[in-house]
Chain A
Amino acid sequence: MAATDVDIFSNEEKRNLSLGGHVGFDSLPDQLVSKSVTQGFCFNILCVGETGIGKSTLMNTLFNTMFENEEASHYQNGVCMRPRTYDLQESNVHLKLTIVDTVGFGDQINKEESYKPIVDYIDTQFENYLQEELKIKRSLFNYHDGRIHICLYFIAPTGHSLKSLDLVTMKKLDSKVNIIPIIAKADTISKSELHKFKIKIMSELVSNGVQIYQFPTDDDAVTEINSSMNAHLPFAVVGSIEEVKVGNKTVRARQYPWGVVQVENESHCDFVKLREMLIRVNMEDLREQTHARHYELYRRCKLEEMGFKDTDPDCEPFSLQETYEAKRKEFMGDLQKKEEEMRQMFVNKVKETEAELKEKERELHNKFEQLKHMHQEEKRKVEEKRRELEEEMNAFNRRKVAAETLSLAQPLKKDKDKKNRSVKTENQSGVSLSNSKVMMAKASVEPLNCDSWWQAIQCCTCLVHNAAWRQGLF
């Protein structure tokens, strides 16, 4: 709708008219101001930095008050966000200040996931605002805007360069929030080292494509101061809430055995610059940037994800409602299809398993039959052999008896025949013996020393079974 309206107007020529007298609409900004003053302002700061780097102290120093803050421990398992909201008042201006702390940042041994909670928090705030905007009945003027307007990134004063964690985190955050990097605990770096350090940091940020917040230079009133401040980034700050007497004044400072570092002394640190830029000059611009740039980017990405477009294939503007309906239908259709698929899959699987089971059953049955056959075969064979052996045994006994009777009947021929017979009997028993040996050999086992025939047979049976088992016939 808005697009078409503008089109109509731009066809006409804009004319500048001069006024004949004082109309009075130059009080419009004042009206705006008084309205916003009564409404109150809202500002959200996110402080990202290692534990103990001085985030809470700096906040206390900046706003000249004591926000209640316990010291964090170093042994958190992960990074967690701690937002705290305060109501401040100066002159007749109300400020609803939210300070979000990153507890446990940089403490873990594995810091690969450290940036995720921060990014998630920022996205959640955007999401909430988007949801509020998309509502049918919305109350934006009443809405507590939790979107982060500024992220102060605290860099540890090592004096060499950025830490790897710093680089990774800032890259993830630069498209979602305005980042101002600051060098914390700057009273540990001497002037020359500081200069080198700042240059190194800025060059690293630039070479890695990290976009930090640039103070705006398009507004004439502040362009000069802002452009000079841009050159001082990152600000090297020192925070302190303790007061020390210097000369005849009491100032906020840190007392060392070798001197006193004054927080508000511009030659000692850049705290005053930070305060100027952050609060006194550019606060409103930060809020605007957050809304106009970062939030819009988020919104566009989100809606594109959902499938919304500004214009449909025929270049006719889409209405949100139609798109929404279409999306919903699509979604329901998808759901149903998925359900069907799953049902189908389930049925198939059941069929498969059933078939498998049947197969197995059949196999087992066959095997059983087979084994039964084999068993019977074996049994039969063994029975046969037993009979054979018995017959041989009987034969041998008969011959033995016959030989004995013969020897009794003819004692004279003993010597000659004895030899023969003994040979014969020996032969026969030898034959019999060798028979069993042959059998054992057939069964391919080592000859066992058995005392009696029956033992031998039993051994044979066992051995045969053993052989069958070993060949895996069972």
Chain B
Amino acid sequence: MTTNIRYKSRIPIKSDETVEEKQYVGFATLPNQVHRKSVKKGFDFTLMVAGESGMGKSTLVNSLFLTDLYKDRKLLNAEERINQTVEIIKHTVDIEEKGVKLKLTIVDTPGFGDAVNNNECWKPITDYIDQQFEQYFRDESGLNRKNIQDNRVHCCLYFIPPFGHGLRPVDVEFMKALHEKVNVVPLIAKADCLTPSEIKKLKDRVRDEIERFGIKVYQFPECDSDEDEEFKQLDKELKECCPFAVIGSNTVVEARGQRVRGRLYPWGIVEVENQSHCDFVKLRNILIRSHMHDLKDVTCDMHYENYRAQCIQDMTSKLTQDNRMESPIPMLPQSTPDVETDRLIKMKDEELARMQEMLNKMQQQIHDGKDQ
């Protein structure tokens, strides 16, 4: 809502026609053109959810996008999970709102952190992200670039359990493995088991630990200085709220005369969209309403570029090491014979030295024999 309003207000109001006609060029309508084109093209967004079983990931995704993505899902028993490996499951849906089409892909990671031995359980996830980058890199470097499918992961929501005193080792390791590949947004899951003071304490703890371990979570961009105060205030509040404490719900309940998404307890009703109950609304605004495109931009401009640069660097360094490989970069051919002869010369030298030594020893012995 806010974004639309902002754009609309940029169109100059034709108050004085005669003066305006001379000065008005018309490129102020560019935003509108961009808007129209983008609506026609449609958007895509890939969201990854990661966290242990039972943290409410699926429920939150359903609440965020107001659909039911997880019909007929089979949950494993504890016994089956003892040695479980992490899978990557993609759900793609096309949703539309007011003419704007969104191709939403949710990447689910069932099995993360569920086994008894969770060493490197994040490896399948990092491999998947790298794969998507590689795919895009290849497509981008190809000849026919008309229909590139962008499957890169734009955002990863990581669910931190609220039952502990802060981050656990597996949380730290996971975020450190991923923070340079994808935008990590940490969330405190199932926040309805924490009182407001406990939430505050936990958030401070988690923020401290994130800083202490050097984890680079997704930073909201600074708002421009020419924005209005209200917006700046909101932005500041948002940043202080991180990590968001969220509650999700698949059910609709009756509260205060309205039908809302919530959870019904004997002692009260938790409303998912009530700002004083949890940060769900803030998360939704950030993720969908204001920063979706920024997340995509950061993925393209930072994470993907880093990956690309690393990839190219690896390729060229590998080539310089291995002379005999075919390469598009022309290599000097004289290097090869030198290496060979050098090697042979070295070998011969060593042999000679060894023989010399043995000779000396023999002579010594002969001398001793003679003396005796």
Contacts and interface: CB of A to CB of B under 8 A. Distances in A.
Contact of B365 (A110, A114, A261, A368): A368
Interface in A146-189: 156-168, 184-185, 187-188
B91 interface: no
A256 B164 contact: no
A163 B114 contact: yes
B192 A188 contact: yes
B277 to A, nearest CB: 6
A335 B251 CA distance: 72
A267 interface: yes
Interface in A34-57: 50-54
Contacts of B362: 368, 371-372, 375
B82 A167 contact: yes
A166 B78 contact: yes
Contacts of B53: 158, 160, 163
B195 interface: yes
Nearest to A262: B267
A466 B77 CA distance: 76
A207 B269 CA distance: 35
A231 interface: no
A164 B82 contact: yes
A258 B271 contact: yes
A352 to B, nearest CB: 28
A260 interface: yes
Q: Specify which of B82, B167, B274 lies most central, judged by the most chain A CB atoms within 10 Å of its CB.
A: B82
A158 to B, nearest CB: 2
Contacts of A254: 195
A375 B271 CA distance: 101
Contacts of A159: 54
A257 B277 CA distance: 6
A165 B52 CA distance: 13
Q: Specify which of A54, A257, A375 lies most central, judged by the most chain B CB atoms within 10 Å of its CB.
A: A257
Interface in B200-235: none
Nearest to B192: A188
B119 A109 contact: yes
Given A168-B116, A256-B268, A204 B165 contact: no
Contact of A52 (B165, B365, B366): B165
A127 B229 CA distance: 71
Interface in B241-286: 263-271, 274, 276-277
A256 B355 CA distance: 89
Contacts of B173: 109
B164 A164 contact: no
Contact of A164 (B115, B163, B169, B264): B115
Nearest to B75: A160
B116 A267 contact: no
B176 to A, nearest CB: 12
B79 A167 contact: yes
A110 B55 contact: no
Categorize the interface residue count of chain A. Answer: 35 or more
Nearest to A192: B264
Contacts of A163: 53, 78, 81, 114
B196 interface: yes
A385 interface: no
A184 B192 contact: no
Contacts of A107: 168-169
B79 A158 contact: no
B119 A110 contact: yes
B54 A162 contact: no
B116 A71 contact: no
Given A167-B78, A256-B192, A50 B114 contact: no
Contacts of B186: none
Contacts of B52: 158
Nearest to A260: B267
A143 to B, nearest CB: 37
Nearest to B170: A109
Given A164-B78, A188-B192, A74 B166 contact: yes
Contacts of A114: 116
A187 B270 contact: no
Interface string A361-385: 0000000100110010000000000
A368 B362 CA distance: 8
B193 interface: yes
Interface in B79-93: 79, 81-82, 84
B81 A164 contact: yes
A108 interface: yes
B206 to A, nearest CB: 11
B190 interface: yes
16 contacts: A52-B164, A53-B163, A74-B168, A109-B119, A109-B169, A109-B173, A156-B54, A157-B190, A157-B193, A158-B53, A158-B55, A190-B264, A256-B192, A256-B195, A256-B267, A368-B365
For the complex of A and B, 3 pairs with smallest distance between CB atoms: A158-B54, A259-B268, A188-B193
